[in-house]
Amino acid sequence: MRESSLSYASLTARGLTPNRWDLIAFPLVLGLLLLAGKGAHETLAPLSALKEPVVSLDPLRLPEYALRTTLRMLAAMVASLVFTFTYGTLAAKSRRAELVLVPILDILQSVPVLGYISFTVVFFMSLFPGRVAGAELAAIFAIFTSQAWNMTFSFYQSLRTVPRDLEEATENFHFSAWQRFWRLEVPFAMPGLIWNMMMSMSGGWFFVVASEAITVGDTTITLPGIGAYLARSTAEKNLAAVGWAVLAMVLVIILYDQLMFRPLIAWADKFRTGQTGAQTAPQSWFLDLLQRSRLMRTMGRPAARLLGALARQRFAPLRPRKLRARTRRSTLIDIAWFAIVASAAGSAAWRIVVFFASGVDGTEIGHAFLLGLFTLMRVVVLIVIASLIWVPVGVAVGLRPRLAEKVQPLAQFLAAFPANLLFPVFVVAIVAWHLNPNIWLSPLIILGTQWYILFNVIAGASAYPNDLLEAAASLHLRGWQWWREAMLPGIFPYFVTGAITAAGGAWNASIVAEAVSWGNVKLTAAGLGAYIADNTAAGNYPKIVLGIAIMSLFVTLFNRFLWRPLYIYAEDRMRLD
């Protein structure tokens, strides 16, 4: 009996015996893993397994469809994180790489995603010929393109605005570049990155509808999922099925809010900068459950130790971040690098010009450029209006964790709700009241992208050091003075990131928002988006390339002459010292 008691005590000390929390946590985690494994196994099935009709409008099939869609979105999220850490770090750390990577990122987030998805489908299908996995990878890539850009911008912004006193501390402790990255820069970027991950997951729903219907030549491959269910119910004008799809979306959003994002926000609260913590720390019942579960802690301990050991590795010494005199050799390398980049950009521009020269003339270029100015005016006005609305709301939510817990699922749902479902409502209202489409179709551009501003401002306000809030209160800062002297400088880098991604998304959304239809009624607003949409429907590839090229030019110049100076201003004047 004594030996048995000692044996049980020994097992308990090693964390190998369950407690009452394990009775809830272990089946829950095991069930999630089994569901994920089942969904992953189905991707290896042959294409012939996708028998018609692939998607049934029976509501009882929605749980299965929700699982398949969620797994695609999570796979895209993992790929987006890898891309973010790699691309964002290179852009932030290397001045020469930044010269190329940031403009490319500007263009990628503005170029219509669905315009180049068709060119990638054949590649992914060729990787797994005759298998569902090829179509799955194509769908995941489509969702990835809706998630990665704003996450990368957020991470890039955070790396460029790490407080100087924290950088100096890492130099005093002789951290290597690897140690500083994992022990300072990633934790500092984590609050903003998590909120942008939420926005990415929510924004991905807009592309799920298109990504789950893969077209290769004359063949359309439909993948089971909520997006395909919603597309079929919309095509058949089945309002009851649309309602079931929206309800399924709400339940999925609540689940991944409770099981993934809320635990991440509660965990990331320990990375807040400042000498005092948050007055009310965010809570997560699922994180508490995992932390109290003895078996879960034991199972996760090897991975935690491995990650901790990797973060402590030196690999290479850290060179102090001090201004160094530029040598002649460095100047020559910069000149050579700039010449290579300029030559590559000039060559690409020339190829584009040659491509559409046969189908357009100078008059057409001037017409497309004028339409681009119309769309630019819409984007600027809408970004200003969205900023005036959502910046105060985001600050109010970010400074109150309890309020954020209540608002977070609602904000995720509003961001996830496919804006194109509201297009028929606008069409009917504009026709019924004889409104001007050039004005009243404009809000459709910002419906799905305004949330980038809200989520980034919430991230900035939630990461704002509590000791600075206390200092502002002790100085009796009120009203506009409080905004100007305290809050706006702290959230400004986050706002710039949100505004950049919102503007890029607005350019992208203009292609579907400036030319909408419901039944036989079609409304068009004068703009570059409608120009691209109309020529895509007509199959006029030279004009499509012309429209996309002008859109990319507008976005690049706008970012270079407005957002880039604001980034520099945020780095030089508004870093928390």
- The closest alpha carbon to 211, from 86, 118, 108, belongs to 118
By the 8 A CB rule, do 522 and 434 touch?
Answer: no
Residue 481 structure tokens: 């003075």
| Confidence (pLDDT) at 276 | 43
Torsion of Cα atoms, 25 then 29 then 30 then 33, to 10°: 180
Residue 514 structure tokens: 């400036």
User: For residue 185, which amino acid is it?
Assistant: E
Q: Do domains 39-268 and 332-577 have the same CATH topology?
A: yes
By the 8 A CB rule, do 154 and 189 touch?
Answer: yes
Give 157's contacts (C-beta < 8 A, 6+ positions apart): 192, 493, 494, 496, 497, 567, 570
pLDDT tens, the chain, 577 aa long: 444 444 545 545 554 555 555 566 556 566 656 666 655 555 555 566 565 566 888 888 888 888 888 888 888 999 999 999 999 999 888 877 887 888 788 777 766 665 556 567 777 777 777 777 777 888 888 888 878 888 898 898 888 888 777 778 887 877 777 778 888 888 888 888 888 888 788 777 767 776 777 655 555 677 888 888 887 887 777 778 888 888 888 888 888 888 888 888 878 777 765 544 445 567 777 777 767 776 666 666 666 666 666 656 665 554 545 444 455 566 676 677 667 767 776 777 677 666 666 667 778 888 999 999 999 999 999 999 999 999 999 999 888 877 877 777 777 777 767 666 677 778 778 888 888 888 888 888 888 788 889 988 988 888 787 778 888 888 888 888 898 888 888 888 889 888 888 888 888 778 778 887 766 777 888 998 888 878 877 767 778 778 888 888 888 788 778 877 877 776 665 554 4
Q: Identify the bridge partners of residue 515 per DSSP, sorted by sequence position.
A: 524
- The residues spanned by each domain of the chain are 39-268, 332-577
What are the two backbone dihedrals, phi and then psi, of residue 213, each rounded to the nearest 5 degrees? -125, 90
Using DSSP's 3-state secondary structure scheme, residue 521 falls into strand
3-state helix, strand, coil in the chain (%, to 5): 80, 5, 20
| Confidence (pLDDT) at 79 | 92
Whole-angstrom CA distances from 260 to 146, 201, 255, 416, 455 are 19, 11, 8, 16, 17
Q: 332-577 — its CATH code?
A: 1.10.3720.10
By the 8 A CB rule, do 273 and 576 touch?
Answer: yes
By the 8 A CB rule, do 207 and 69 touch?
Answer: no
On the CB side of 488, CA atoms within 13 Å amount to: 11
Q: Identify the bridge partners of residue 221 per DSSP, sorted by sequence position.
A: 214
Residue 442 structure tokens: 């404009």
Whole-angstrom CA distances from 219 to 121, 125, 141, 213, 222 are 12, 12, 19, 10, 10
User: What number of other Cβ atoms are within 10 A of residue 26's Cβ?
Assistant: 16
Query: Could you check whether the bond before residue 53 is cis, i.e. omega within 30 degrees of 0?
Result: yes
Q: What string of DSSP letters covers 241-288?
A: HHHHHHHHHHHHHHHHIIIIIHHHHHHHGGG--SSS--SS----HHHH
Query: Cα separation of 130 and 138, whole Å?
Result: 14
Query: Cα separation of 507 and 555, whole Å?
Result: 8
Query: Cα separation of 279 and 268, whole Å?
Result: 15
Residue 268 structure tokens: 């990331």
Q: Identify the bridge partners of residue 222 per DSSP, sorted by sequence position.
A: 213
DSSP 8-class letter at 46: B
By the 8 A CB rule, do 544 and 536 touch?
Answer: yes
- Biggest CA–CA distance in the chain, Å, is 96
| Confidence (pLDDT) at 11 | 47
By the 8 A CB rule, do 461 and 487 touch?
Answer: yes
| Confidence (pLDDT) at 104 | 80
Using DSSP's 3-state secondary structure scheme, residue 517 falls into strand
| Confidence (pLDDT) at 390 | 93
Residue 478 structure tokens: 């009120």
Query: Cα separation of 47 and 272, whole Å?
Result: 48
Domain at 39-268: CATH architecture: Orthogonal Bundle (1.10)
| Confidence (pLDDT) at 52 | 59
| Confidence (pLDDT) at 378 | 92
Residue 266 structure tokens: 């509660």
Give one word for 237, left, alpha or beta, with left for phi > 0 and alpha for psi -120 to 50.
left
| Confidence (pLDDT) at 370 | 93
- The closest alpha carbon to 461, from 319, 265, 232, belongs to 265
Using DSSP's 3-state secondary structure scheme, residue 163 falls into coil
